[in-house]
Amino acid sequence: MKILTNFAALVLLMLAGSLAGQAQTRLYGDVNSDSEVTLADVNAVINVILGGSAPTPPPDPNGHDYVDLGLPSGTLWATCNVGASSPEEYGSYFAWGETSPKSNYQWKTYKWCIFYKEDEDGYAEYDLTKYCANSYYGIVDFKAELEPEDDAAYVNWGPLWRMPSKVQFREIEFYCTWTWTQKNGVNGLMVTGPNGNTLFFPAAGFRRGSSLEDAGEYVHSWSRTLNTHHTISAWAVENSDWEDSGADREEGYTVRAVRVSQN
């Protein structure tokens, strides 16, 4: 058994670099893109070698469902947004790093900043207090991924779920096909995976201040990854052509969760 375990670990180290490169994974050996290197990654590689498929994770006791798109990483995506009960419902809107919806999305109401004032041109003056990679914007901690306690999926749905990383979003951008369509009369994007399974993102728009903008026209959905080049923003899926870019962290975006691998 020890020889088999060592062989599996060796195989993981040899092949994970290739698989991780396909999915643009940032953590070496993280085959399933869950930001951890565990036995689940070893199992994933062995399954690939043997021509098998990933084991089915246990059902969520809270009833949140997922879809397997047939992705190389094995990532499983929730079928609806956090705060929604069906794929076409918009669900809740969250500022990045906050875990509860609110009525007003501004820097002065953002959890992770000290707000001072607006200058004469109407620009906000503030310092960030967490998730900051540039001292110009606040207190530097170099945290580039949301911690579980600041993750809207984890807090609202439980430890089986996380907000997706930028890498996980890029994987479905690369491996899936996209169709602008309607589901039960709601505009949105239908994502079709390599195995033919589908995932619907409603065009829920986003919230700025107390207003809802772009509803019915654009998909806006947060990742859990900070834009370290412009630390006042985080990576998000935006626009109907599914390009990702940095979005201001104080704005309210929807959240689509992914399942956390179970050892």
Q: What is the per-residue pLDDT across 171-197, written as a single tens digit (0 to 9) for each?
A: 999 999 999 999 999 999 999 999 999
What kind and span of H or E run contains 244? strand 243-248
Q: Tokens 């940095």 — which residue?
A: 246
Q: What is the pLDDT of residue 18?
A: 44
Please report how many Cα atoms fall inside a 13 Å half-sphere around the Cα of residue 164, on the Cβ side. Answer: 28
Amino acid (one-letter) located at 93: Y
User: What's the pLDDT score for residue 204?
Assistant: 98
Report the alpha-carbon distance of residue 75 to residue 165 in Å, rounded: 11
Give the per-residue pLDDT at 42: 64
Q: pLDDT tens across 19-54, in order?
A: 444 433 345 455 554 556 666 666 555 555 544 455
Residues in the chain: 263
* Encoded tokens for 260: 């956390």
SS3 label, residue 253:
strand
Query: What tokens were used for 114?
Result: 């000290």
- pTM (two decimals): 0.80
What does the block give as tokens for 130? 């967490």
Rounded-to-integer distance, Cα 91 and Cα 188, Å: 14
Rounded Cα distance between 232 and 230, Å, is 6
Looking at the chain, the number of H-run helices and the number of E-run strands are 4, 14
Please identify every stretch of the chain with a pLDDT value under 50, giving residue numbers as ranges: 1-26, 28, 33, 50-52, 263
Assigned token pair, 40: 């689940």
Phi, psi of 161 (to 5 degrees): -130, 150
Read out DSSP for 164-233? PPHHHHHHHHHHSEEEEEEETTEEEEEEE-TTS-EEEEE---EEEBTEEESTTT--EEEEEEE-TTSTTE
CA separation for the pair 56, 177 (Å, rounded):
24
Query: Within 13 Å, how many C-alpha atoms sit on residue 8's CB side?
Result: 17
> Rounded to whole angstroms, what are the CA distances from 7 to 12, 46, 246?
9, 10, 41
> What CA–CA distance (Å, rounded) separates 4 from 95?
46
Q: What was the pLDDT predicted at 118? A: 87
Note whether 83 and 92 are within 8 A (CB).
yes
